């Protein structure tokens, strides 16, 4: 208990001895600007030197879409460069910066980051297994169970169709 009280006392006394030259206002403004930043995945046209595939050249091409202010930012704003499946990058941008980016030559599209919930049939809640009651608790939460799946790669339904001399299907 005594260390907690000491910590509280130190924090309270430190708040009285802060400089009052407006730095608190500036840090609050910076915090608001940081909170205005959103993560975007930006798709751009492929660079001409894509065949050479120099990753530094492609990344610098992607960085050329960003405003100069992002280079001087405290936190990194350029997150990742994409070049294999798509040509683009991920970056943290304000709404105004995003609007300016939309007008640049080579810009294709941008998607704002979305947080998605996992949707799977393997979660205990989805299966109706509750840790407090029911079969799951009675079975010791599956301890000692071995569950295996053998995938032979043969689709039995397609064999039935093939045997009946219907058209064959390939995927």
| pLDDT for residue 11 is more than 70 | no
Residue 123 forms part of a structural domain: no
CB count within 10 Å of CB 92 equals 20
Please state, in angstroms and rounded to a whole number, the distance separating the CA atoms of residues 13 and 8. 9
Q: What is the separation, in whole angstroms, between the first and last Cα of the chain?
A: 67
Query: What would the two tokens of residue 100 be?
Result: 């300016």
Residue 94 forms part of a structural domain: yes
Residue 164 forms part of a structural domain: no
Residue 16 forms part of a structural domain: no
pLDDT tens-digit series, residues 43-82: 999 877 655 556 678 888 888 888 876 555 667 888 998 8
Query: What would the two tokens of residue 43 be?
Result: 């798709």
β-strand pairing of 78-82 with 107-112: unpaired
Identify the CATH number of the domain in which residue 104 sits: 3.30.70.80
Residue 105 forms part of a structural domain: yes
Q: What is the pLDDT of residue 90?
A: 92
pLDDT tens-digit series, residues 100-158: 999 899 999 999 998 887 777 667 777 777 778 777 778 887 788 777 777 777 666 66
pTM (predicted TM-score): 0.48
The residue with greater pLDDT, 86 or 75, is: 86
Residue 64 forms part of a structural domain: yes
Domain that holds residue 59: 37-116
Residue 103 forms part of a structural domain: yes
| pLDDT for residue 21 is more than 90 | no
Rg (Cα) of the chain, in Å, rounded?
28
| pLDDT for residue 164 is more than 80 | no
Q: What is the pLDDT of residue 7?
A: 53
Please state, in angstroms and rounded to a whole number, the distance separating the CA atoms of residues 87 and 92. 17
């Amino acid at each position: 208990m005594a260390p907690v009280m000491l910590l509280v006392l130190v924090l309270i006394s430190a708040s009285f001895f802060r400089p009052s030259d407006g730095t608190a206002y500036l840090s609050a403004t910076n915090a608001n600007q940081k909170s205005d930043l959103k993560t975007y995945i930006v798709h751009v046209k492929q660079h001409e030197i894509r065949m050479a595939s120099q990753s530094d050249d492609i990344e610098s091409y992607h960085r050329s879409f960003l405003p100069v202010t992002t280079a001087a930012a405290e936190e990194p704003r350029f997150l990742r460069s994409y070049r294999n499946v798509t040509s683009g990058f991920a970056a943290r941008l304000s709404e105004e910066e995003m609007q300016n980016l939309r007008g640049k030559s080579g810009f294709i599209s941008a998607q704002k980051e979305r947080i998605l919930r996992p949707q799977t049939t393997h979660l205990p809640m989805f299966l109706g297994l509750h840790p407090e009651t029911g079969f799951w608790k009675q079975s010791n939460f599956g301890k000692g169970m071995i569950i295996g799946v053998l995938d032979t790669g043969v689709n039995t339904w397609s064999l039935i169709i093939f045997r009946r001399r219907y058209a064959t299907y390939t995927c």
